[in-house]
Amino acid sequence: MNHQTQVASEALFASVGQNRRTMKWERIGILYARIALGSAFLSAVASRFGVWDGTLDLKHFSGFLEYAGQVLAFMPNAAIPYLAWTATACETSLGILLILGLWPQWVSLASAFLLAMFGTAMAISLGLKSPMDYSVYSASAAAVLLALHAFRQNGKTTAQSGFSGEES
């Protein structure tokens, strides 16, 4: 093996090693983001039912309904309970699905959309400082990145299987 071939070979092996480390950190980062977002959703739901206070009751949910009324001040009062229960159902299901890693593309997109809607409602009713202080848009952006990663991974899987989804 001549010197140039040996140098090229060493560079290739170094590149492969670097790519493996990068992929490992990427997987760790994705897992971390999924668990963090999913846990945040489930923590918010747990708080609505008093779990963090050591009780489990609907008394705490009435406080959440009041808060939802403040955040959704631009909505009719009759819609507040429906929207609060819908948000609770969405946050519960999205939180569980994020942690389990099921349907990552669509669950991540739905999470991003839900967080963006919540942040926008907060900004409209309480001012822009409120969603910024609670990092709502940052969480939404993290969910978008999770979705992009999942779509990219799905694209790689599709390309590797020989199916492009397009007709020839």
pTM: 0.82
Report residue 113 as tokens.
Answer: 């959309």
Q: Which backbone phi and psi does 101 adopt, to 5 degrees?
A: 75, 25
Q: Do 72 and 79 meet the contact criterion of CB atoms below 8 Å apart?
A: yes
For the segment 69-90, what is each residue's pLDDT rounded down to a tens digit?
Answer: 999 999 999 999 999 999 999 9
Tens of pLDDT, residues 90-140: 999 999 999 999 999 999 999 999 999 999 999 999 999 999 999 999 999
User: 127, 136 in Cβ contact below 8 A?
Assistant: no
* Among 116, 90, 76, 82, residue whose Cα is nearest residue 38: 90
**52 vs 133: CA distance, rounded Å:** 22
